[in-house]
């Protein structure tokens, strides 16, 4: 018995030792060097792994990628990883990266419920009918298939070209749970499984199946293409018809996210399979930090998708309002920020001095009545944030607690207050969140307020001997003005990977969005939330991304011949920059005017995007010239492009020369920057456009020619724009913005421009 114990202990210690602990690695291979003795790359990779050590076996090879990446994912220890790095057949060995999720009224807000002609000569019904041939692939936390949002009533047979399928699991039966609407449901868990087996946490492993235990994936999939569902609401809030952007499009879900995150190896496998299955649009409401494109899982998989004609739509991230906080910045990816819609959920805090404070809430339980109760705010940092374990029950029992927003989840703060005996919470914004209001379905009466009113409440508590308050809730209101407003959480530029590419590309609805939900979890996502709901209201660029994915599907249905870059261009150049009060778009952070670093080209406008007039098209070979301009090693470019014979014989002298629908002008050693762009006519033959320039005082902008005459549909015409920084202008470390538009009576094809200086020109 003793010897068995010693053996077990030694084995346990070996697992703990970093040299022996197995981790997931993604291996970039020179796949063109496969010896002819191996019939498949999978066999070759398997043999390579078995040759490393006696501990390597067939289970070490987790994924063999076909289209998304030239290589494989494997379970390796440090020694095995180092041996692979030394192989002549291997370009690089990279430890698996963990990505995070970026966590109705919107069809009406976007004008998609208008039954009149939506694009030249076609009705909404005709567009929806065409969309039945479009398949949206959603990489996320899976799907709750019983949701009515995935009903296939009235749907015709699945397109014969579709090669996807539904996979079975302990809680998922393909014959029961998939249909003509939900045409695919797969899961990819090997990266997650490796991480779970090598970590010593008490967190139970989630069943491996396509089923959504989190809610996020069901929400995003139904936002993109959910079927219409009447009487949808979250406990009475936002009641009405819930429907996706492309309600007749098909949905295929790829579960790549698990309780511990979304692992790069699983994401690549999901993208690889989705491309082979035949999706038309890929929607990814997830991301990580920014880095070189050859180390970016989503960028690499996205390039393969783009080459196959697949539109790739990704969330920009929820790390705003910090500058340079963007994720998913590759130019072949649609990078989507978030804005508000014209619906709100007002709630009120009446203070003891009779001052009425307006905020928002989705609290649906028993109200507080009209009796004032004590109000408390602890200025100690952890207590003011209402972090777990920070509140003393003696101080808060029976009282309303003021909590600063930030650090931990908003709904968790409410739970902390409730468990300490508090009867209500006022969630007050700080400088970082500004005036942005995000409603939550709290477990106790709670009201969220902006920074200015939060400061009023903080000052009241501080100055009053016996501060009191009472909370009440006002349900749902619509036609809120101004809207949209850029969400403070929406990640911002500049683009640190390639500063010459302006990102985000555009914004869409991403605040307080109602969509389908998993009934495996409560609306807050907290373990102690025992409530269940078929719909939930969520906020994040995770919510704005599937709006754009669904709209891209509509454009694909209307214009099946358009490339992904043409669809992106149409959505960007027709976006609007003025809100419902006809004022320039505002930013919730600081309640100031927004800039293209926050909103990109502007807020999406589906009606105009369907008939944009002109598009900036980009062919795959131009993306290769772009990559060559970044001075990457050839092997790294091959990792993205996946062609052994690719060369940089032709490359841009500046990454900004790519035919992008926006401009990011960097004045460095020279005060002159010159770019040439090509516009393709997708409007009527005989169309004439004239340029309109909006430039800051510090820059002179010249466009030649100033008029473009397109004789034919499909004709491509070029123009050259010269940006000159004026002498003696004090612009160091300052950024300004402008635009270049090509206009006629029918269309305004607008490109935002950002200007940055790294030195002063005298």
Q: Which of 433, 542, 563, 594 is catalytic?
A: 542
Q: Is 542 a catalytic residue?
A: yes
Q: Is 219 a catalytic residue?
A: no
Q: Alpha-carbon dihedral of residues 634, 637, 639, 645, nearest 10 degrees?
A: -60
Q: Cβ(244)–Cβ(226) under 8 Å?
A: yes
Q: Which of 77, 96, 140, 344 is catalytic?
A: 140
CA distance 144 to 214: 9
CA distance 644 to 187: 31
Could you report how far apart the first and last alpha carbons of the chain are, in Å? 84
Q: Is 140 a catalytic residue?
A: yes
Q: Cβ(74)–Cβ(62) under 8 Å?
A: yes
Q: Which of 662, 666, 677, 664 is nearest to 751 (CA)?
A: 662
Q: Cβ(661)–Cβ(617) under 8 Å?
A: no
Q: Which of 470, 121, 138, 485 is nearest to 313 (CA)?
A: 138
Question: How many helices (H) and strands (E) in the chain?
Answer: 20, 40
DSSP string, 504-564: --EEEE-SSEEEE--TTS-TT--TT-----SEEEE-SHHHHHHHHHHHHHHHHHH-TT--H
Q: Cβ(667)–Cβ(726) under 8 Å?
A: no
Instruction: Supply 293's token pair.
Output: 């494109």
CA distance 145 to 142: 9
Rounded to the nearest 5°, which phi and psi values hold at 411?
-70, -30
Contacts of 218 (CB under 8 A, 6+ apart): 141, 142, 143, 144, 147, 149, 212, 515, 516, 517, 518
Beta bridge partner(s), residue 615: 680
Contacts of 515 (CB under 8 A, 6+ apart): 104, 149, 218, 219, 220, 222, 223, 226, 242, 244, 535, 536, 538, 543
Instruction: Supply 239's token pair.
Output: 């009641």
CA distance 759 to 498: 19
Q: Which of 31, 102, 216, 636 is catalytic?
A: 216
Q: Which of 385, 343, 365 is nearest to 442 (CA)?
A: 365
- Which residues belong to the active site? 140, 216, 542
């Amino acid at each position: 018995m003793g010897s068995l114990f010693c053996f077990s202990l030694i084995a346990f210690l070996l697992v703990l030792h970093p040299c022996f602990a197995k981790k997931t690695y993604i291996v970039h291979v020179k796949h063109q060097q496969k010896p002819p003795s191996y019939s498949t790359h999978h066999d070759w990779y398997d043999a390579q792994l078995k040759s490393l050590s006696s501990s390597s076996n067939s289970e070490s090879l987790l994924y063999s990628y076909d289209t998304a990446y030239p290589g494989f994912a494997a379970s390796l220890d440090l020694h095995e990883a180092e041996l692979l790095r030394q192989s002549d057949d291997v370009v690089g060995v990279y430890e698996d990266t963990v990505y995070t999720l970026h966590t109705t009224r919107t069809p009406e807000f976007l004008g998609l419920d208008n039954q009149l002609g939506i694009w030249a000569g076609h009705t909404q019904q005709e567009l929806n009918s065409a969309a039945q041939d479009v398949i949206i692939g959603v990489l996320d936390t899976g799907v709750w298939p019983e949701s009515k949002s995935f009903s296939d009533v009235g749907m015709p047979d699945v397109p014969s070209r579709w090669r996807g399928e539904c996979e079975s699991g302990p809680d998922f039966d393909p014959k029961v749970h998939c249909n003509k609407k939900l045409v695919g449901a797969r899961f990819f868990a090997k990266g997650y499984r490796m991480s779970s087996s090598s970590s010593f946490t008490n967190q139970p492993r989630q069943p491996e199946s396509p089923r959504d235990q989190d809610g996020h994936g069901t929400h995003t999939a139904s936002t993109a293409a959910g079927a219409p569902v009447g009487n949808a609401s979250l406990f009475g809030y936002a009641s009405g018809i819930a429907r996706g952007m492309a309600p007749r499009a098909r949905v295929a879900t790829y579960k790549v996210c698990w309780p511990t995150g979304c692992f790069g190896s699983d994401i690549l496998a999901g993208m690889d399979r989705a491309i082979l299955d035949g999706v038309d649009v890929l929607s990814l409401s997830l991301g990580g930090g920014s880095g070189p494109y050859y180390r970016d899982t989503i960028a690499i998989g996205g390039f393969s998708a783009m080459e196959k004609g697949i539109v790739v739509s990704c969330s920009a991230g929820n790390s705003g309002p910090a500058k340079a906080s963007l994720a998913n910045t590759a130019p072949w990816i649609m990078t989507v920020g978030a804005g508000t819609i014209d619906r709100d959920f007002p709630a009120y805090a009446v203070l003891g001095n009779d001052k009425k404070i307006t905020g928002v809430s989705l609290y649906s339980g028993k109200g507080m009545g009209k009796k004032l109760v004590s109000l408390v705010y602890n200025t100690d940092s952890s207590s003011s944030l209402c972090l777990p374990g920070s509140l003393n029950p003696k101080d808060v029992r029976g009282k309303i607690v003021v909590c600063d927003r930030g650090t931990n989840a908003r709904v968790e703060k409410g739970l902390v207050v409730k468990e300490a005996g508090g009867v209500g919470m006022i969630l007050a914004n700080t400088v970082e969140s500004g005036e942005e209001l995000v409603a939550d379905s709290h477990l106790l009466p709670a009201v969220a307020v902006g920074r200015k009113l939060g400061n009023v409440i903080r000052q009241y508590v501080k100055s009053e001997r016996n501060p009191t308050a009472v909370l009440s809730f006002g349900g749902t209101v619509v036609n809120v003005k101004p809207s949209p407003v850029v969400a403070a959480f929406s990640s911002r530029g500049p683009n640190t990977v390639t500063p010459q590419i302006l990102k985000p590309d555009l914004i869409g609805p991403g605040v307080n969005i109602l969509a389908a939900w998993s009934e495996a979890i409560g609306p807050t996502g907290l373990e102690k939330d025992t409530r269940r709901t078929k719909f939930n209201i969520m906020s994040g660029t995770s919510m704005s991304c599937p709006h754009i994915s669904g709209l891209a599907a509509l454009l694909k249905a209307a214009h099946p011949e358009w490339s992904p870059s043409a669809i992106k261009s149409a959505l960007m150049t027709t976006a609007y920059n003025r809100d419902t009060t006809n004022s320039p778009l505002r930013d919730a952070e600081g309640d100031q005017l927004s800039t293209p670093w926050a909103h990109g080209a502007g807020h999406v406008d589906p009606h105009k995007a369907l008939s944009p007039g002109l598009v900036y098209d980009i062919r795959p070979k131009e993306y290769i010239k772009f990559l060559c301009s970044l001075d990457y090693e050839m092997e790294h470019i091959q990792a993205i492009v996946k062609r052994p014979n690719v060369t940089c014989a032709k490359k841009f002298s500046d990454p900004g020369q790519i035919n992008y629908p926006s401009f990011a002008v960097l004045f460095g050693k020279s005060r002159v920057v010159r770019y040439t762009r090509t516009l393709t006519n997708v409007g009527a033959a005989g169309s004439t456009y004239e340029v309109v320039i909006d430039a800051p005082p510090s820059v002179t902008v010249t466009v030649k020619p100033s008029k473009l005459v397109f004789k034919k549909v499909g004709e491509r015409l070029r123009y050259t724009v010269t940006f000159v920084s004026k002498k003696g202008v004090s612009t160091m470390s300052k950024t300004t913005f402008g635009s270049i538009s090509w206009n006629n009576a029918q269309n305004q094809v607008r490109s935002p421009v950002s200007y940055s200086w790294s030195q002063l020109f005298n």
